[in-house]
Structure 1
C-alpha cells in the first residue's frame, strides 16, 4: 500500500482509523513490525501481550471449552495502534516485506500463543503467504523452445498450474471444455452453494483475497476470485475454451503425448511433451438407479446440474440426499416451496458453525485490504488448527479404544460435540434425535458444517424420512420399503461420479489404457503419477485428499510438478516414469495405514470415499492417511531414485561454468 487516501467515514471517523482501533493489538503489532522493520518491538511488547492471544479454532476442531481471555492493558493497545496508524497513513513501503524464518517463528509464537510444531513451520510460512517462491531446485537451464506442457482443465488446479508454469518459463496451453474458468464452481450453481472451508484459506497463498464478504464464500464469490486471478496473470490467451478432451496417446517413437479433442464439433489434435490433467475427481453428476424415473412427469434436477428455469414456488418438492449439497439446498429453498420432504439414506454428523452465513465485518475487511500483512497473519490464524498434531482424529487410537470403547480422543470429542448440538435443537423430540444420530465414527463420512439444516427441519412444512429411492411413477417417488411420496419436483443431491481419469481414453506405454491400469481400482504415486504413463501428471489423483483443502493440495502438487519439470530441463531429460517398485511401495504403505482410519473402519457408513472397482469390491482411494505437513515435505523434491528417465536425443553436456577473477 502506498499513500493511502482515506475518504469514507464511520460515525464521523475515517473508516481506516476505525479499522485500526478495532484491530487486535497483537495483530496490529505483527503489521507494525513488518512495516517499520523494527524487530525490537517484538521483545518490547512480548510480556504485555503473552497469554492474551485471541483464540482461533476451525469449526471442525472447535470441540473444547474456551478459557476466558486475559485482556491487554488498554494503554498498551492504544500505544501499538497509534504507532500503526502513523506508519500506515505515512504510506511508505514496508521495510520488512520478507520475514526470515527465525523472525517468523517468534512472531507466529506470539500471535498464536504457542509454538508451531517443527514439521509445520515451513508449511505455515508458505500457506500463510509469507513467500510466493517455493522452488527448491535452483534452475541451471531455461526450458527449450520445443518443450511444451498441455494442461487439461481451467478450474482451481489448472489455474494454479498455469501461473507457476508461466513464472518458471514453460511454454504451456490450457484446454477447457467450458466457456469460462472455474471448473466445478462454474457448474455448481444450486441454491445455497457455498465453500465449507474458511474463505481466508480457500484461496491461493500467493494470491490472497483480503476482500471476502463472507467467512464461507458463496459459489459466485469464489468464481469471481478465480476470474480475477486469471485476468491478473493474463492467462486467457493461453486457454482454449470450449474444447472437450476425449483422450490422449503416448507416442513412444517421439516421446510426446498426442491429445484428441473436439471444439465446435470439429476434431483437433494437440501434442505436448508433458500432459497435466487438472480435471479433478468430481466430474459429472451421480444419478441414482431409479426404476421408471423417466415416467415421472415433473422436473428432475440434480444439484450438480441445476435447472434455474424451474420455479419451485408453491411446489411440493422431494429432495434426495443429506450430504453437503443436500443440506445447503434444503436450507436455501425451504422458505420458497409449499412442502419439502427430505429423503435420507443415513444420518450425517453436523457440526455447529455460527459463521456459516455471517458476513465479514466491514472493519475487518478494511483492515485486511488497507493494512499490509494483516491478511497474511489472519490467514495463519485460520491455518493453525491444521498445523498441530491430530492424534485420534482420523487414525484409530488402539490403546484409547481398548480403554474406552471409542475411536480416538479427537474423533470421540467431535462425535460428542455434534451429538450435543443435535440434542440442543430437538430437546423434546427423541425420535428426531434418533433419526439424525449416526452410528459410525466421525469422518467415516464427510462431516457437515451446519448452514441452518436443523432449523430448516423444524419448519412445519418440512419433513425428513429415512429410506432409499428405488422407483418413480408419474406423480410420486417410491422408497425401498414401499413408501410412496407424491411430489411436483424431484431434486437429487446425490453427489458426483469420481472417475479419476477413467472417463478419458488415455493410452500409455504399449497402448495400455488408464482404465486397464486402474483395474480393479485407481491408484497413484504421491497423488499424481501413474507407472506406465510417462510424462503424465494427474493432479488430484487417488491418495490426494481429505487432509487439506483443495487450494492447499493444489499448491503442493503444482510445486512438485515444477520441480519435476525443472529436473527434466536441467538434466536434458526426454521422459520420466515412476518405477513399478516405487509405486508399489507408496501404495502398500498408504493402503496399510488406511486400514487403521475412520475412512476404512467406517461401520455402516457409505459414500463417495469408497471406489467400487471392477471386482465389485469397495476400496478407499480418495484419502491419504498422512498429516498434511508431512505431505508438504514429501513433495518438496522428486526422489530421483524412484524414476526411470531417458535423455533427449540432442542432449549435450553443458560445461561447468567457471568463475574467473576480474581485474581493474
Structure 2
C-alpha cells in the first residue's frame, strides 16, 4: 500500500484562524479542544445550538489561542477506553450505554483501519491456490478488498465496467452528488481526504474511489470489463466456479469464497407506460446519461421526484425551454446546511492543522443520526392527545411543512400538491437541491395527474392533457428487490438463489448469508441498510466485510473449507426481523407502505433495511453467533 505524503503547517495569523474556527462545526471544535486541554471552562459549555454569544466567544477565543501555539499536522492517538468514552459522552452531552459505546467507538477513526479483523495468532499457511472473488468494485467491493489486503488473502475483484466506482461510475447526470456530508461518506482508513466540497459531486466521488483502489492495492487485483454471468458451487471441492463475460468472451475463474458487492442499484427500472417504446423523442434513464446530451432549449419531461429526479431538476431547468415535472408521489424533501458549497480554505486549514478536529467532526456529523430510531416508533399516549405519530416525528413534519411553504413562496396551488399525507421517515428521505424553488420558475410546471400513455407528441395524462416534449427523463429508480440479478448463483443440489427467493422475495441471515450457498457473502444485501442509530453506509461496508473476514479467518485457522449459515438460524433471524419491522412506521398505515423504497410491496414486508436499533444491528454484525453456522 502507498503511504500518504507528509504535510507541514503553513503559518497563518489570528484573524485567519478565527475565521476558520467560526466557519467550523463548533461542537467538533469544542470536543477537540477539550481532548487536548481538559479545560474546565470548555467542559462546562453546552452544545453548539445552545451556546449564547458569550459562550461562543469563549470557545472561539480559547481555540484560536491554542492553535496559535500548537497548530500542526497530525492526528492524536486513540485515547484509552475510559477517556474515549468520557470524550464521546462530552461530545453529545449524554451518557451512552455499553451497546452504544461499542458500536460508536470507531467512528472517530483514530485507529489505522477501523472495523477490520485480523488473524487470532498470526497468518496460517493458506491452502494452495486459495482465492476470494469479490464481485464489484464500488464502495462495498473496495471495503471487502481492503479486508483481504490486511489479512494477506489472495483475491480478485470482478468489475463489469472499465473503472472502479460501482454506481458512482455509472451515474453521471447533472449535479449528481452525495446527499450525506462527505466526511461521513468515506472510508475510515483514509484519513482526512481533501474533499473540496461539503457534499461531493459524482466526479469527486469517482476520483476518491479510484484513489482508494490504487492506493491500497485493489486496482491491481481488479479485472475490469468482467461481468459475472453465473456462479456455480462445486460441492466436491468447496469451490465456486465463476463465468464472467469479457470483451473476448466468457472467462472461467475459480474462487474458494465469493463476496458479492454488486449493490442494490444495478438494475434500472424500465418504464411500462403505453406507447413508451414508440415515443419518437429521446428517453433517458439517469443511470445511462449521454455524455453529449445538450438540453438547452429543449422541452423536457422529468418523470419521478425521488433523489435523482430532485437532484437533476434545477440545473436542467436553468437551460431548458420548458420542463414538466411528473410527480409520481409526494415526498418529504429536506434541506442540508452547506449543500453544494465548497469547503472554505480556512476550514481546510483547520482540518489539516488542528489535530483531532477531523476525527471529532466525523463523530459529530454522524451523531445527528443517533436518535433516528425514535422517529420510527409510535407513541400511543402522544396520539391520544391528538398527535399523529410521535412527538419528534411530528416536529419534523411541522418543520418540513414550513419549509415547503417557504421555498414555494406560499403558493397555495403548489403547497396543496406537495405536502405528503404520511409521516416523514416512512420513505427514503430526499435532500433538496433547489427542487422546490425550481418549481416556481416560469418554465417549470408540476404535473400531478397520472401518466396514461406516451404519444408521438409527448405525454398524455389522465385528464386528457398532452404535454409536448422532446425528451423524457425517466427518474423512476431501480429494481431494488432484484438482489444479485441478473447473474445466476447455483448452490447445493443445483439450487438457484433466485428460485430459493421466489417464495417471499430476497432474504438473508444478517443481510449477508443464505443457506445452501456456502462460502458466499453479500454486502448491502437484503435487509442490510440500517434505518437508525447513526453511521454512514461506507462504515457498514467495512463492518460487513469484517464479518465475512471473521468467518473466513476461523475457517482457515481451523483447516476447514466451507462456512454456511444453517436453515434454522436463517429462518429464526428472518422471523425476528419481520416481527421487529412490524413495529416501525415504514410498515404502518400512517407511513407509506404501499409505495416505498424500503418495502417489498409484492410480499408486504421490509426489504431494504434492517429494522433493528442501529447499535443492536452493529452487535449482530460484529459478535458472531457461531452456533448459527456450520464450518466443515
Considering the TM-score relative to the shorter chain, is it more than 0.5?
yes
| d(CA) in 2 for partners of 1:225, 1:212 | 9
1:139 and 2:120 aligned: yes
| Aligned residue in 2 for 1:632 | 618
Quote how far apart the aligned CAs of 1:26 are: 7.1
| d(CA) in 2 for partners of 1:264, 1:2 | 41
Unpaired runs of 5+ residues, structure 1, are 56-66, 647-664
| Aligned residue in 2 for 1:61 | none
| Aligned residue in 1 for 2:41 | 47
Query: Partner of 1:159: helix, strand, or coil?
Result: helix
| d(CA) in 1 for partners of 2:516, 2:121 | 28
Quote how far apart the aligned CAs of 1:272 are: 0.9
Quote how far apart the aligned CAs of 1:503 are: 1.5
**Alpha-carbon displacement from aligned partner over 1:483-516 (angstroms, at most 9, x marks no partner):** 3211111111100122111311110010000111
Q: Which of 410, 431, 434 matches 1:449?
A: 431
1:286 and 2:269 aligned: yes
| Aligned residue in 1 for 2:67 | 84
Quote how far apart the aligned CAs of 1:383 are: 1.1
The verdict on how the C-alpha distance between 1:138 and 1:145 changes in structure 2, with shifts beyond 3 A counting, is closer
| Aligned residue in 1 for 2:336 | 353
1:461 and 2:450 aligned: no
Q: Which of 559, 567, 575 matches 2:562?
A: 575
| Aligned residue in 2 for 1:549 | 536
Quote how far apart the aligned CAs of 1:48 are: 4.2
| d(CA) in 2 for partners of 1:389, 1:479 | 38
**Alpha-carbon displacement from aligned partner over 1:389-426 (angstroms, at most 9, x marks no partner):** 732x1233344334435122222222111111112234
| Aligned residue in 1 for 2:379 | 397
| Aligned residue in 1 for 2:8 | 4
| d(CA) in 2 for partners of 1:68, 1:19 | 18
1:611 and 2:596 aligned: no
Q: Which of 254, 261, 265 matches 1:271?
A: 254
| d(CA) in 2 for partners of 1:604, 1:527 | 21
1:491 and 2:495 aligned: no
Contact 2:31–2:90, Cα closer than 8 Å, also in 1: no
Query: Partner of 1:418: helix, strand, or coil?
Result: helix
The verdict on how the C-alpha distance between 1:569 and 1:223 changes in structure 2, with shifts beyond 3 A counting, is same
The verdict on how the C-alpha distance between 1:268 and 1:320 changes in structure 2, with shifts beyond 3 A counting, is same
Quote how far apart the aligned CAs of 1:573 are: 1.8
Quote how far apart the aligned CAs of 1:138 are: 5.2
| d(CA) in 1 for partners of 2:580, 2:346 | 46
1:561 and 2:553 aligned: no
Query: Partner of 1:126: helix, strand, or coil?
Result: coil
The verdict on how the C-alpha distance between 1:526 and 1:428 changes in structure 2, with shifts beyond 3 A counting, is closer
| Aligned residue in 1 for 2:359 | 376
Query: Partner of 1:404: helix, strand, or coil?
Result: coil
The verdict on how the C-alpha distance between 1:599 and 1:208 changes in structure 2, with shifts beyond 3 A counting, is farther
**Alpha-carbon displacement from aligned partner over 1:158-194 (angstroms, at most 9, x marks no partner):** 0011011100121111010100000000111001211
Task: Give runs of aligned pairs for residues 247-262 of structure 1, distance below 5 A.
Answer: 247-262=230-245
**Alpha-carbon displacement from aligned partner over 1:210-239 (angstroms, at most 9, x marks no partner):** 422222211111111111111211221100
| d(CA) in 2 for partners of 1:231, 1:405 | 53
Query: Partner of 1:497: helix, strand, or coil?
Result: coil
| Aligned residue in 2 for 1:232 | 215
| d(CA) in 2 for partners of 1:597, 1:141 | 44
| d(CA) in 2 for partners of 1:429, 1:133 | 49
**Alpha-carbon displacement from aligned partner over 1:575-613 (angstroms, at most 9, x marks no partner):** 111111111111001111212222211347513323355
| Aligned residue in 1 for 2:165 | 182
Q: Which is greater in Rg?
A: 1
Quote how far apart the aligned CAs of 1:282 are: 1.2
Q: Which of 508, 519, 523 matches 1:524?
A: 508
Quote how far apart the aligned CAs of 1:119 are: 2.4
Quote how far apart the aligned CAs of 1:20 are: 6.4
The verdict on how the C-alpha distance between 1:604 and 1:440 changes in structure 2, with shifts beyond 3 A counting, is farther
| d(CA) in 2 for partners of 1:425, 1:26 | 29
RMSD in angstroms over aligned alpha carbons?
2.5
Task: Give runs of aligned pairs for residues 641-652 of structure 1, distance below 5 A.
Answer: 641-646=627-632
| d(CA) in 2 for partners of 1:364, 1:304 | 34
Contact 1:25–1:81, Cα closer than 8 Å, also in 2: no
Quote how far apart the aligned CAs of 1:106 are: 2.1
| d(CA) in 2 for partners of 1:72, 1:508 | 63
Quote how far apart the aligned CAs of 1:75 are: 6.9
Contact 1:210–1:369, Cα closer than 8 Å, also in 2: no
Contact 1:150–1:272, Cα closer than 8 Å, also in 2: yes
TM-score by length of 1: 0.87
Quote how far apart the aligned CAs of 1:124 are: 2.3
| Aligned residue in 2 for 1:295 | 278
1:99 and 2:79 aligned: yes
TM-score by length of 2: 0.92
| Aligned residue in 1 for 2:416 | 434
| Higher mean displacement: 561-570 or 349-358 | 349-358
**Alpha-carbon displacement from aligned partner over 1:71-124 (angstroms, at most 9, x marks no partner):** 3485775455334333335x7x76x52211111122233333333444222322
Quote how far apart the aligned CAs of 1:344 are: 0.9
Matched length: 618
The verdict on how the C-alpha distance between 1:389 and 1:295 changes in structure 2, with shifts beyond 3 A counting, is closer
Q: Which of 415, 424, 432 matches 2:406?
A: 424
| Higher mean displacement: 119-128 or 253-262 | 119-128
The verdict on how the C-alpha distance between 1:139 and 1:399 changes in structure 2, with shifts beyond 3 A counting, is same
| d(CA) in 2 for partners of 1:222, 1:538 | 23
